Chains A and B, each alone.
Chain A
Amino acid sequence: MDNPARRVLCRGMTHDTDIAIVGGGLNGPALALALAHSGFRVTVIDALPLDTRNDPGFDGRAYALALASQRLLKNLGIWGAIADHAQPMLEIKVTDGRAGEGPSPWMLHFDHAEIEEGPMGYMVEDRHLRRAFLDALAENDRITQIAGETVVAQSVDARGAKVELASGKTVTARLLIGSDGRRSGTAQRAGITRTGWGYEQTGVVCAVTHDRPHGGIAHQFFMPHGPLAILPLTGNRSSIVWSETDDRAAELTAMNDNDFLDALRPAFGSFLGEISLSGARFSYPLNLTLADSFIADRVALVGDAAHGMHPIAGQGLNAGLRDVAALAQVLADARARGEDIGSVPVMQRYQRWRRFDTATLAVATDTFNKLFSNNNPFLRGIRDIGMGVVNAIPAARRSFIREAAGLSGDLPRLMRC
């Protein structure tokens, strides 16, 4: 059919895909689904083969999904595959621990019953999230996956972006997204510099099985060397995020399982009964790394590629999913208006929405960590008073709960009910 409009279309859209996403972890697939739902054709490129990423064994890693993140997964149609494996977080108890004394009686208590939206969030194991995303990607005919391929070069011009893969293959798109983590190659190739610093702390992550039920309560103990989080998983299991000085963490990592548990018990306490390890142990050096810009010419960054932050508040994935929801909305709106989705004004809309938010969160978690990760009596006095004050004021408590649930600020459409 010789339709003149079709010729216009062909001249303007000679790209392999509308949007190429580099990085197929969690934020990349979430963004691919959100964009495909708005009608975009999306290609997801990841260096790892699919079967490596879809390993069904539990490896001990889990995420705290804020309520807003759970809504996003629901709106993307994948919550159904996750719900049975998700543990609602009904309460959060924050305690100022004292060296050698174990945790003191709890000082701050947040209960989801104080807000009407529901639980503050859910604990979900990494493997269930990954599988749900990969299954949904495979079923979506607007999404193409290129797995086991490394990007070696990228370039942009007035019409679009091009990435070259190690195999010699190329992918052209109108817009390129970097969701390739805190050492983002996409950001580096786009000339985006980073600001960051280490904390001389390492996060030791594992899961434990315990005798007594956790009742859906998450605990955060602020120990002198760093925070210890005990987060409820399904069944009588909890996920542990234990931050320690680098030296101590190296010792802990080198220990056998029994010695590790002996070291964990004094901090963990006995309130959940006897504990044993479930799955492997992981350690992550804690650092903060913020991209100096979330955007470049026809390039946008999401998740850790834009902002790797301290896991103290469990906000890393949640902040990433918020980038995803905001960027998907900005791009869907731009497309409906006929705007060039990779153009500077569209990219700037995303950056304005997210960069201030994330920088604030990164600095807040940083400050929080510095305030709590020490044994200075003066600072301890301040934080104990602060926690007591927040705990005594219902409005302050509710505002913390809404913050933890990810419900504050300018919420993207995909994170609303």
Chain B
Amino acid sequence: MQTERNTVDPAEIAKFEAMATEWWDLDGKFKPLHMLNPTRLDYITRQIAAEFGRNLGTDMPFEGLRILDIGCGGGLLCEPMARLGAIVVGADAAGGNIPVAQTHAEKSGLKIDYRHTTAEAMADNGEQFDVVLNMEVVEHVADPLTYLTACHDLLKPNGMHICSTINRNPKSFGMAIIGAEWVMRWLPKGTHEWHKFITPDELFDLLRGAGLNPVDRKGFQFNPLAWTWRISDRDLSVNYVTASLRPAS
């Protein structure tokens, strides 16, 4: 796994290794991710459908699309993409996640190519995809610009990169760290490091720096009364998501 480019932070990977078997436990450590998942999927599927002219009301709308999910974890995004007909590669730098994801996909009757590797290693091998999913990862890497450049390289021309992360402000500190990690104990303490959080403007600058062309940004807004998430046009104050395209030339 030694490559010239490597943005993986070993301490970060160790945190996720420790939680690997919990990925599909709805009430386990990844409960907040399971709660957020339908809303993330709404955004991802609609962006892909719009960009590639697919109809989500049909069977297998993503048939023929090659989709890479970086930081795939237990396969919470890979499985829906495979169910929609895409050819899916799930990559994770934490090796312990791979058998967990493989076992679950097998049980669900889905064929997904899970690999213990990094974005940089795959980019160096010259592999390319129609869509790269980069969800809740960029706040965990050591060097975001190098990492996003690898994501750019992994895209075919006109390919789509979807990237979500957490904003950096007092509210996101309160929600993501004090709320989710300390008070609710949803996430183990230390899952997130606030200084690594990125504001939407910083992320747009990083995406442009990596050669990508940002086309959309939305917020994921949590409603603590209904206990649900929704996509917001305006509220990017905590969790947010962006879509960007690799220019044709």
Interface residues of A (CB under 8 A from B): 3-9, 11-14, 38-39, 158-159, 333-334, 336-340, 344-345
In the bound assembly, the distance between CA atoms of A7 and B86 in angstroms comes to: 11
Quick check: A338 and B80 within 8 Å, CB to CB? yes
8 Å CB contact of B83 from A7, A14, A333, A340: A340
**Cβ of B81 under 8 Å from chain A:** yes
8 Å CB contact of A338 from B26, B41, B64, B109: B41
**Cβ of B157 under 8 Å from chain A:** no
8 Å CB contact of A8 from B45, B58, B87: B87
8 Å CB contact of B56 from A5, A7, A336, A339: A336
CB distance from A204 to the nearest CB of B (A): 43
22 contacts across the A-B interface (CB closer than 8 A): A4-B87, A8-B82, A8-B110, A8-B111, A9-B63, A11-B111, A12-B83, A12-B108, A12-B111, A13-B109, A39-B57, A333-B38, A334-B38, A336-B57, A338-B45, A338-B81, A338-B82, A339-B41, A339-B83, A345-B26, A345-B34, A345-B38
CB distance from A409 to the nearest CB of B (A): 14
**Most chain B CB inside 10 Å of its own CB: which residue of A14, A38, A159, A339:** A339
Closest 7 CB pairs of A and B: A338-B80, A337-B41, A338-B84, A336-B56, A338-B83, A12-B109, A158-B107
Name which residue of chain B comes closest to A41, CB basis: B59
| Per-residue A-contact encoding for B231-243, CB less than 8 Å = 1, 0 else | 0000000000000
Interface residues of B (CB under 8 A from A): 26, 34, 37-38, 41-42, 45, 56-60, 62-64, 79-87, 107-111
In the bound assembly, the distance between CA atoms of A334 and B39 in angstroms comes to: 11
CB distance from A6 to the nearest CB of B (A): 8
**A4 contact set on B, CB distance < 8 A:** 87
**B26 contact set on A, CB distance < 8 A:** 344-345
**B37 contact set on A, CB distance < 8 A:** 345
**B81 contact set on A, CB distance < 8 A:** 338
**A6 contact set on B, CB distance < 8 A:** 63
Quick check: A337 and B64 within 8 Å, CB to CB? no
**B82 contact set on A, CB distance < 8 A:** 8, 12, 338
Name which residue of chain B comes closest to A157, CB basis: B107
Quick check: A5 and B86 within 8 Å, CB to CB? yes
Quick check: B57 and A8 within 8 Å, CB to CB? no
Quick check: A158 and B108 within 8 Å, CB to CB? yes
Quick check: B45 and A336 within 8 Å, CB to CB? yes
**B64 contact set on A, CB distance < 8 A:** 3, 5
8 Å CB contact of B38 from A3, A8, A159, A337: A337
**A12 contact set on B, CB distance < 8 A:** 82-83, 108-111
Quick check: B45 and A159 within 8 Å, CB to CB? no
**A337 contact set on B, CB distance < 8 A:** 38, 41-42, 45, 80
CB distance from B55 to the nearest CB of A (A): 10
CB distance from A81 to the nearest CB of B (A): 25
CB distance from A35 to the nearest CB of B (A): 12
List 15 extra interface pairs beyond A8-B110, A340-B83, CB under 8 A: A3-B63, A5-B86, A5-B87, A8-B87, A9-B85, A11-B109, A12-B110, A39-B57, A158-B108, A336-B56, A336-B57, A338-B45, A338-B80, A339-B83, A345-B34
CB distance from A328 to the nearest CB of B (A): 13
Quick check: A5 and B85 within 8 Å, CB to CB? yes
**B83 contact set on A, CB distance < 8 A:** 12, 338-340
**A11 contact set on B, CB distance < 8 A:** 109-111
In the bound assembly, the distance between CA atoms of A340 and B57 in angstroms comes to: 15
8 Å CB contact of B111 from A7, A333, A338, A339: A7
**A345 contact set on B, CB distance < 8 A:** 26, 34, 37-38
**A159 contact set on B, CB distance < 8 A:** 107-109
Quick check: A38 and B57 within 8 Å, CB to CB? yes
Quick check: B108 and A39 within 8 Å, CB to CB? no
In the bound assembly, the distance between CA atoms of A345 and B24 in angstroms comes to: 11
CB distance from B145 to the nearest CB of A (A): 31
**Most chain A CB inside 10 Å of its own CB: which residue of B60, B62, B63, B109:** B109
Name which residue of chain B comes closest to A341, CB basis: B83
**B45 contact set on A, CB distance < 8 A:** 336-338
Name which residue of chain A comes closest to B111, CB basis: A8
In the bound assembly, the distance between CA atoms of A4 and B111 in angstroms comes to: 10
CB distance from A10 to the nearest CB of B (A): 10
**A38 contact set on B, CB distance < 8 A:** 57
In the bound assembly, the distance between CA atoms of A5 and B113 in angstroms comes to: 13
In the bound assembly, the distance between CA atoms of A345 and B82 in angstroms comes to: 18
Name which residue of chain B comes closest to A38, CB basis: B57
**B63 contact set on A, CB distance < 8 A:** 3, 5-6, 9
